[in-house]
Every structure is written in structure tokens, then in C-alpha cells.
Amino acid sequence: MLSTFDMGIDLGTANILVYNKNKGITLNEPSVVAIDTRTNNVVAVGLDAKEMIGKTPEKIVAIRPLKDGVIADFDVTTEMLKHVMRKATKKIGFAVRKPNVIVCIPSGSTSVERRAIHDAVKNAGAKKISLIEEPVAAAIGAGLPVDEPVANVVVDIGGGNTEVAIISFGGVVACHSIKIGGDRLDDDIIQFVRKEYNLLIGERTAEKIKMEIGYALIDHEELFLDVRGRDLVSGLPKTINLSSYEIRNALKEALQHILEAIRATLEDCPAELSGDIVDRGVILTGGGSLMNGMEEWLSKEIFVPVQLAPNPLESVAIGAGKSLAYVSKILAEVK
């Protein structure tokens, strides 16, 4: 069993979450680190660092050390994890030097990527490390009976990637992972606004547009949003009015890729489990699943019930923390 100071970590591209069985989610911060390039010292981590994106002098850069769900910068990731684990143990109420940690990994990650995550967590001060695949953790966190012989379909739309998995008897029966998530949607919005309006906007503005007027459903009540940016022709600040129909069109290609991944996974499902999917449907987790109209759109496209997990943003972290109950079946090996 987990002791009071042990933690489950969802090491996401966009956010890093820490779960403890007694305290629940003890930390939820953006996976961003601000670094002074002259000294290589960490200036800020998490929310403070995210506030700096696009607003810092040249000597300070705000970076995301994780890309597509895996480590892009090992040293910076280790520093971020040290900060996160130190902060989390304080909130839990134990000044523990070396906690036992369970970390989530993308299901399509290679043995090298898994080893990198394992080593980064160990260097950050963990005593014992176990790895669990994200879709399995998401299913546990969403309250699905993963250890029973029924089909549990999970679609986890994260910041860097989307993972679709069918889980039965504690294992992954079929799975597809694509490197398209919330970050790709933000980038598509930036490129659309640049191309159509000659206006340059930042990541945070694109994220705001996605959250407020981004729609997965084609038929919806049109919404509008005033957006400020820099005019690429005059170089001066400029305000434009964007429509949710325009944004839906800009996101069309990325959403289609997510749909194709879901269809491909359902096609790989064994015949005996297909009946369960019709009855039980599909569960959505991850920040991307919160996009307006996502449930209705997917339900219309794949003809099975689609519903949101109780805590979509926290499902993976909660599942990681609770996964020791299934330890013999589902914890991934580090090879």
C-alpha cells in the first residue's frame, strides 16, 4: 500500500500534477521552467514561469522541458521535478527526503524514453520509482473497472499527445498514440490568425481563444472574441474579432487526426469486447477533452456513447496514485 508520503505524478507536456492518497491532488502546475541563460540557474517553475512566457528579457527564457509527453531537456526536467516533489511533500505534511513515486508515461514511449523519465525522477530525489502507462492511469482515475474482463475505452487528450486505449483485465488490449494534443491546437490557431489576418499572437492568447470559442462540433451557436496582437505589416498593436466558426475550421485537421486514432483503436478491438463498447461507451480525459462540443461531436462520428470523466484534468494523476492496488498487473517495466 502507499504510505502517507508517497505520490503519483502525471508528468504532462502542459501540466504536472501530484496525487497523494490522503490529501488528493496536492499540486497542479504548468510544466514550464524559466531559466537565466547567463548562469543556467532556474528562476521560476510552474505557474510563475508560465506567466513569464513571451514577456521576459533576453537573458531569461521560459521553456517547456517536455515535448509530446516525453523528456526533451533532461537537466531542466530534473530541476522541475525537484521543485515539484519538494513542494508536494511540504503540502502533504512530511519533510520526506526520498519518497516512493509512481510516474505516468505515454503508452507509445520507447525504452529509452522510459529510462529517461525513470532517471529524471530518481535524480530529483525519489527512492523507488514505478512507471504506469497513461491510458491505464486515466481509466483508474476515471473510476473504470480496469481489472475486470470488460472493455474500458479511454481517450486521453493531453497537451503533447492523444492516447486511445481499450483496457481489459488490467492490461491494454489495443492502443493508438498520436503526437497531437492541446499544443498542436494552439499552434494551428496561431498559424491561422497569422495567415488570415497578418496578426502575430502568442501561445497564451491562442490557448485563451481555444478555451473560449474553440469548438469540436461543427453545428453550434456562433461565438465571437476580440483578440489583440501585433500587426505584421505595420508592426503596431491591433485588435481583431474572431468567430468560433473560423476557429473550428482552423482546428479541423488536428481534430480529424484524433478521430482517426479513435476509429483505428476501435477497429483493433477483439470481437468479444466490441459489445461492451456499444453498452459502456468511451470515456474522455485530459485537458483537450474539455473543448466545447467534444463529447457530442465524437458521439456523432463513432456512433457510441461518449462521456467526460468526473475529473478530466486530474484523472491520470489520481489513477497513478491509486494504481498500487493493481501493481502486479499494470505497472510498466523499465527496460
Q: How far apart are CA 265 and CA 135, in angstroms?
A: 13
At residue 268, what are phi and psi to the nearest 5 degrees? -85, -5
Does residue 207 form part of some domain?
no
**pLDDT: which is higher, 73 or 95:** 73
Which residues contribute to the annotated binding site for ATP? 13-15, 207-210, 287-290
Q: Which of these, 138, 295, 141, 292, lies nearest to 214 by C-alpha position?
A: 292
For the segment 57-90, what is each residue's pLDDT rounded down to a tens digit?
Answer: 888 888 889 887 788 889 899 989 888 888 887 7
The boundaries of the domain holding residue 54 are: 7-136+316-332
In this predicted model, what pLDDT tens digit does every residue of 154-185 receive, in sequence order?
999 999 899 999 998 878 899 999 999 999 99
Task: Give a yes or no: residue 217 inside a domain.
Answer: no
Domain check: are 170 and 94 in the same one? no
3-state SS of 257-293? HHHHHHHHHHHCCCHHHHHHHHHHCEEEECHHHHCEC
**Domain assignment of residue 158, yes or no:** yes
> What per-residue confidence (pLDDT) applies to 2?
43
**Quick one: 49 and 151 in the same domain?**
no
Q: Please check whether residues 98 and 148 belong to one and the same domain.
A: no
Residue set of the binding site: 13-15, 207-210, 287-290
Residue 35 shares a structural domain with residue 61? yes
Domain assignment present for 172: yes
Q: Predicted confidence band at 242 (pLDDT cuts at 50, 70, 90)?
A: very high
pLDDT score of 312: 93
44 domain-assigned:
yes
Give the angle 302-149-322 at the CA atoms, nearest 5°.
90
